[in-house]
Amino acid sequence: MARIRKGLLKCVVPALPLDRLGVEGAPSDDMWSRDIKMGKHLLPVYADLLYRLQHNALFLGYRFKHRDESQAQCHHGCGVLETAPHLFWYCTAALQVWSMWLPAFQVFFETKLEWESILFFKLKPTPVAKKEYGYCLFVMLHIVRAVIFRCLWMHRNDLRFHGMRPNVIDSKLRLLP
């Protein structure tokens, strides 16, 4: 089996299109194995959305900005081009949803909880939190981030395809701690 693997053509893994995700550095190689390990704690629909978000495979408004008849702006009325960082982090609706959870988790991490650190799990726990909670702390944050991302995505789809009006309270109620 080892000989077969050695004989196979080795392909270079293409770089992720990170410019539209608003991140500067590529995630570390161990991030992907950690995400696969964490994925077992999620329902497949949540893991799928997180995977597509990390690989810039969601059909957000910026992809359709060249078409006159398409809606490329944020559906919450921000007047900004709809990109992943905006929809899931910087939008007023996203800020309101995240504001309930970030302070609760920030005390456990030395790393500031920001878009890139949440998206690619670039986090360093405090020594006390690591000793006290260990792996469970990462699992909790992983579940919370996946659920928030999915709620924001589904609310966006309701606005775009079902003619609903922006309602952050509805998204917040789905995520009550």
Confidence band of 128 (pLDDT split at 50, 70, 90): very high
pLDDT at 13: 64
d(CA 93, CA 95): 5
d(CA 29, CA 18): 15
Q: What's the angle, vertex CA 168, arms to CA 70 and CA 76, rounded to 5? A: 25
pLDDT at 26: 78
Where do the domains of the chain lie? 43-174
DSSP letter for 90, please. I
Instruction: Assess whether pLDDT exceeds 70 at residue 175.
Output: no
Write out the two tokens for 51. 């995977």
Tens of pLDDT, residue by residue over 150-170, are 999 998 998 888 878 777 666
Q: How many helices (H) and strands (E) does the chain have?
A: 10, 0
Write out the two tokens for 103. 């302070």
Instruction: Assess whether pLDDT exceeds 80 at residue 106.
Output: yes
Please name which of 12, 14, 15, 18 lies closest in space to residue 122, comparing C-alpha atoms: 18
pTM for the full model?
Answer: 0.83
Contact between 81 and 61 (Cβ < 8 Å): yes
Write out the two tokens for 33. 């194995």
Tens of pLDDT, residue by residue over 60-73, are 877 777 777 777 78
The residue-averaged pLDDT of 47-71 equals 81
